[in-house]
Amino acid sequence: MISVKSARLIRQKLVNQKSYIDELGPYVALEYTDYQRRPGYNRIVERLVQIIVESAIDINEKLIEAMNEPPPASARESFGAMSRLGVLDDGVASAFQAYVGLRNRIVHAYEKLDNHIVYFNAKRLLDDAERYVMAVQRFVDQNQQETGESE
């Protein structure tokens, strides 16, 4: 069971996550050709993708800890753990494991990023991140302690 305090923290992080998702939406709602013509949009989208993925990793760690599970060995593994706990379905967990790789390329500048790849991954991330938020919220609601802790 998740303590009231942990549930409150996770819910606040989900609110923040939703705001990042909402912020990303208008940038990838444009057709790719329009997106390309807007100076700076690629950097904005890269940063929002990074924030959304890092926020999900942070939420994973808080929820896994709240469930008294051992900490995951890596960011990718945190999504596997969320799947094993029954929080995320395998599709969302797997998608986010791939987004961790994109996030790493953005943050560490391993290579010149292809704007086309970032743009289309960001479009997919919107739906996957919405599914992530709903799944985590549902799990927290179902597993929050009812009593024994004051708010």
Q: What is the pLDDT of residues 41-88, one digit of tens each?
A: 999 999 999 999 999 999 999 999 999 999 999 999 999 999 999 999
Q: Helix/strand/coil (H, E, C) string of the chain?
A: CECHHHHHHHHHHHHHHHHHHHHHHHHHHCCHHHHHCCCCHHHHHHHHHHHHHHHHHHHHHHHHHHCCCCCCCCHHHHHHHHHHCCCCCHHHHHHHHHHHHHHHHHHHCCCCCCHHHHHHHHHHHHHHHHHHHHHHHHHHHHHECCCCCCC
Residue 149 has pLDDT above 50, yes or no: no
Q: In this structure, is residue 149 part of a structural domain?
A: no
Count the domains in the chain: 1
Q: In this structure, is residue 114 part of a structural domain?
A: yes
The CATH number assigned to the domain holding 12 equals: 1.20.120.580
Q: In this structure, is residue 129 part of a structural domain?
A: yes
Q: In this structure, is residue 148 part of a structural domain?
A: no
Determine the pLDDT at residue 113. 84
Average pLDDT, the chain: 94
